[in-house]
Each structure stands twice: as C-alpha cells, then as structure tokens.
Amino acid sequence: MTIDTVPALATAYPVTQDHVAAFRADGFVRLSGVASAEEAAAYRRPIASAVERLGTESRPLAERDSYGMAFLQVMNLWRHDPDVARFVLAPRFADVAARLLGVPRVRLYHDQALFKEPGGGRTPWHQDAMYWPLDGSRCLTMWMPLVDITPAHGGLAFARGSHVDGPLSDIGISDASEHHFDRLVPRRGLAVDEPVAMRAGDASFHSGWTVHKALGNTSSEMREVMTVIWFADGLPVLEPANGAQENDLTSWLPGLAPGDTAASPTNPVVGDVG
C-alpha cells in the first residue's frame, strides 16, 4: 500500500458540545468511529510493519522490568514511513484535538505505537505530561486501537477529573508510580473509569495531566494501538522539571530552549478540515 491509496482522513468528525464538556470535566472522552473499520484496517498494515522494522525490544517478557513488559513502544513512526505520516498528520484527528482543547489549531508533539503482547504486563498509573516540557493542560493524546479489543487486551482506565490539579507526581511509569497513584486516587475521591471494549478506529482522547493506566494483556492476541500527541499552537517551551523532560526537549522539540515557542520543524501545525 502507498500514500496514494491509504485513506486521506481529511473529512471532519462530528465533535459535539457534549464531547467537549465531557473531556473538560473528566479529562478524557471516548469517541466511536473516529476512523472507520476500513480506514483502520488500511493503516494497520503500514503501522505494524513500521513497528516490526523499527522496534528494538528483543528480550523475553520475563527479562523486562514493569515498563518493558507494558508494551512494545516505537516513537515518531511518521518520520520513517509516508503511509504512517498520513495517519499521524491526518486533519480529522488533529481537528478533534483542537476542538476538545478549544484552540484554533494544534501542533504535533510526536506519535508512538503501543503494541501490548499477549501476556504483556499492566501499564502502571501515570500522567503523560510528567514527561513533557509543555503546559500539560493544553496537550492531549489520542489512543486508537487498530484492531477490535476488549478490556482483557489491555484497555485504558482513567481517574475521572484527575487532570484538574495538574502534576500530581514526578514519578515515571513504574511500579513506584502505580503505588503512588493507587494511594492518591482513592484519597482524592476520584472515580476510576474502567476499560471498555473498543472497535478498531474508536479512540479515546485524554489530557496531559489525566491519570490513567492500562490492564495487562491476558488475551492471545497483540493489542495494536497507535497514539498521537498534540499541543495547542503557540505554547512556550517550559524549563524542564526533571530528567525525562530534558530528554523530551532534545528529542521532540529539537533546537529549542525554554521560553521559545514550541514550533520546531518536527512539530508541524496539523488540522484545518474547514
């Protein structure tokens, strides 16, 4: 399949005021059919192929730590494959992100494939924006399965409303972050929205500060998920608050320094479906 035949993903998705209200109140929203089954199937092959080609994890599950057991993670696939780039830069997806954030346009931060193997472990509780030298309240992630999944494949759970207070930890994804949020979530009275079955092309969108986790994959099939992260156009780069943010600044905002507008050549403006 080539860029001339994969779907353009240029038509708008009908984001409603209820969707926006749910996202802003809860810190996440699940949307049905953001890509059709046919569109998801068309992109599944190039994304899976890129994961296989670019992935570096070869250790057996038993030899990995909790982070390594959580998923096969490959980032910035769009820079290596034109078909994947068409998915990552799709106006439809970016338009949903902009509407949920309430901004005119968004920029790409980076993409990442998160394939969870059969027998793969849980993804511990965490906040994505702990890794980002940006205002996490103005960033979001789309999490889209490319195959039909049930909770047993490793679905996402969210702590409803956990995004409101911003950073709640400086602990990276680990057993320590799981322990921290296992105590914090009930202490703050936050309801946990448990994983649900999702069809290929359904998607969840969650804020940068939303506390979330994924179950282990107890099925016999690979959980094939593609994610894309965007931020509101015009954000400044923040002073890194930890080593992870220092690494992200170098990796995903190359050539920029704290105080600069977050707009490197690898962070194009995307969206505008009219």
Give the whole-angstrom CA distance, residue 101 versus residue 18.
13
pTM equals 0.93
Give the whole-angstrom CA distance, residue 134 versus residue 19.
24
Selected from 1.10.275.10, 3.30.365.10, 3.40.80.10, 2.60.120.620, the CATH number assigned to the domain covering 17-253 reads 2.60.120.620
User: pLDDT digits over 64-88, tens only?
Assistant: 666 555 557 899 999 999 999 999 9
Helices (H), the chain: 17-26, 37-54, 66-70, 82-88, 91-101, 175-187, 243-252
Q: pLDDT per position in the chain (274 positions), as tens?
A: 444 579 999 999 999 999 999 999 999 999 999 999 999 999 999 999 999 998 766 666 666 666 555 557 899 999 999 999 999 999 999 999 999 999 999 999 999 999 998 998 899 999 999 999 999 999 999 999 999 999 999 999 999 999 999 999 999 999 999 999 999 999 999 999 999 999 999 999 999 999 999 999 999 999 999 999 999 999 999 999 999 999 999 999 999 999 999 999 999 999 765 4
Report, in this order, helix, strand and coil percent for the chain, each rounded to 5.
35, 20, 45
Domain ranges of the chain: 17-253
